[in-house]
């Protein structure tokens, strides 16, 4: 059997509903079947994920115990079992855009310094609810050099092996941490001006929304801790901005509580600073170039675009509250320690 050109490592945990479409999208990348290899790594699913993957015709199914599973470990297991010079990691809730991988490999082959590439990640159903519509704005990025690429990205296998793959300690934030080591090893990463994949975020409740942003904060703290410490590590600035914004929104309420003894009037006046700050910050963000770009590219009606842009502005800052709790949880628990092979 000839060596495949690209190996796809699909990872999943209870993704039976999305896995068939995810694996099917790999056959639309512009390669003959013998040019690709498909490895599915399951993280202890209790649904029919493994059976779906087998029926879809993957070349190999690997499994890791649910108790020790995380995305970094799953991708590393897949990486250890691929035969191609390029590997594309794909989450089980994501399907690749037809022809994307050919675009990515062309970019890697034309520039030997490039070690990884990504493209635009879009939400498959942004109209499903406000959560998905707003969180879709977290995905876009401008084309050009980047510090890291997302979980659904294409890499040179040798470049990953040279730095030891993903850090298995990173239960979240594994991609930015890997990006730090790849760049320290002389590699470059690039965001291409092309749609890469379609993602099923599928947030259906406030609880899921809060958990997503809590995880984002924990990710920020993990990355900073592992890449030089909370003061100097990668994303340390983002970490402290998250805490500062959360403090800005919460501190008027904390100050107002002891003021109640002096009467409700002064306490209410101070407490009103919280929603006032939030409104000002949200309005400013909704009018920024980032959200203006989204408004111009959206097919929605003008009034709906303005409403969504404002909701996105509120999301930017309200999300700092659960994110700050995620940051604090990592700091207090001491779950992440600095890697000795990364200089801050």
Residue-wise pLDDT for 248-286, tens only, equals 999 988 888 888 777 788 888 888 888 888 888 888 887
Task: Name which residue leads in pLDDT, 243 or 124.
Answer: 243
**Residue 46: domain span:** 6-204
Whichever domain contains 96, its CATH number is 3.90.550.10
One domain for residues 272 and 132: no
Distances (CA, A) of 277 to 198, 243, 245, 271: 35, 15, 10, 11
- The answer as to whether 297 is a domain residue is yes
Residues of the chain with pLDDT > 70: what percent?
92
pLDDT score, position 137: 74
- The answer as to whether 307 is a domain residue is yes
Q: Do residues 245 and 320 lie in contact, with contact meaning Cβ atoms separated by under 8 Å?
A: yes
- Alpha-carbon Rg for the chain, nearest whole angstrom, is 22
For residue 334, is pLDDT > 50? yes
- The answer as to whether 78 is a domain residue is yes
- The answer as to whether 106 is a domain residue is yes
Q: Do residues 91 and 175 lie in contact, with contact meaning Cβ atoms separated by under 8 Å?
A: no
pLDDT score, position 298: 56
Which token pair is 91?
Answer: 């989450």
One domain for residues 150 and 52: yes
One domain for residues 51 and 185: yes
Mean of the pLDDT values across residues 62-74? 94
Q: Which residue among 183, 204, 225 closes a domain?
A: 204
One domain for residues 284 and 183: no
Q: State the total domains in the chain.
A: 2
- The answer as to whether 229 is a domain residue is no
Q: Do residues 51 and 29 lie in contact, with contact meaning Cβ atoms separated by under 8 Å?
A: no
One domain for residues 303 and 249: yes
One domain for residues 39 and 170: yes
DSSP state of 121: E
One domain for residues 243 and 96: no
For residue 18, is pLDDT > 80? yes
- The answer as to whether 300 is a domain residue is yes
For residue 292, is pLDDT > 60? no
Q: Which residue among 184, 204, 224 closes a domain?
A: 204
pLDDT score, position 148: 96
H helices present in the chain, as ranges: 16-24, 49-55, 71-79, 100-110, 130-135, 157-163, 174-184, 206-226, 236-259, 264-271, 273-286, 289-297, 302-318, 320-333
The neighbour count for residue 301, using CB atoms within 10 Å, is 9
Q: Which residue among 204, 220, 250 closes a domain?
A: 204
DSSP notation for 251-283 = HHHHHHHHHGGG-HHHHHHHHTHHHHHHHHHHH
- The answer as to whether 325 is a domain residue is yes
Enumerate the β-bridge partners of residue 95. Answer: 198
pLDDT score, position 135: 78
Which token pair is 154?
Answer: 């294409």
Which token pair is 270?
Answer: 């101070």
Give the pLDDT confidence of 81-128 residue by residue, as tens digits: 999 999 999 999 999 999 999 999 999 999 999 999 999 998 887 777
One domain for residues 56 and 129: yes
For residue 296, is pLDDT > 80? no
pLDDT score, position 105: 98
One domain for residues 282 and 190: no
Which token pair is 44?
Answer: 């202890």
- The answer as to whether 129 is a domain residue is yes
One domain for residues 199 and 293: no
Mean of the pLDDT values across residues 19-33? 96
pTM of the model: 0.89
One domain for residues 164 and 313: no
One domain for residues 146 and 75: yes
């Amino acid at each position: 059997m000839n060596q495949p050109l690209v190996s796809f490592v699909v990872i999943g945990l209870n993704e039976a509903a999305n896995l068939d479409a995810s694996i099917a999208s790999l056959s639309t990348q512009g390669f003959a079947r013998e040019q690709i290899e498909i490895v599915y790594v399951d993280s202890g699913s209790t649904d029919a994920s493994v059976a779906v993957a087998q029926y879809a015709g993957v070349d190999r199914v690997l499994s890791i115990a649910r108790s020790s599973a995380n995305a970094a470990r799953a991708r590393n297991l897949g990486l250890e079992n691929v035969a191609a010079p390029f590997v594309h990691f794909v989450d089980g809730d994501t399907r690749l855009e037809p022809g994307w991988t050919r675009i990515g490999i062309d970019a890697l082959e034309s520039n030997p310094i490039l070690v990884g590439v990504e493209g635009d990640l879009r939400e498959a159903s942004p109209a499903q609810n406000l959560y998905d519509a707003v969180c879709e704005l977290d995905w876009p990025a401008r084309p050009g050099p980047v510090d890291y690429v997302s979980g659904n990205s294409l890499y040179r296998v040798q470049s990953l092996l040279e730095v030891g793959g993903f850090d298995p300690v990173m239960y979240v934030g594994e991609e930015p941490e890997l990006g730090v080591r790849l760049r320290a090893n002389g590699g470059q990463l690039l965001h291409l001006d092309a749609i890469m994949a379609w993602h099923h975020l599928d947030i259906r409740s406030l609880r899921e929304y809060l958990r997503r942003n809590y995880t984002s904060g924990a990710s920020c703290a993990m990355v900073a801790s592992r890449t030089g410490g909370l003061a100097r590590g990668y994303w340390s600035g983002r970490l402290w901005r998250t805490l500062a914004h959360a403090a800005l929104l919460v501190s008027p309420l904390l100050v107002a509580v002891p003021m109640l003894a002096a009467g409700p009037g002064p306490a209410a006046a101070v407490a009103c600073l919280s929603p006032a700050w939030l409104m000002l910050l949200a309005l400013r963000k909704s009018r920024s170039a980032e959200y203006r770009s989204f408004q111009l590219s959206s097919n929605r009606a003008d009034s709906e675009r303005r409403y969504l842009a404002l909701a996105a502005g509120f999301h930017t800052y309200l999300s700092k509250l659960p994110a700050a709790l995620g940051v604090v949880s990592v700091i207090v628990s001491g779950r992440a320690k600095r890697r000795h092979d990364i200089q801050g």
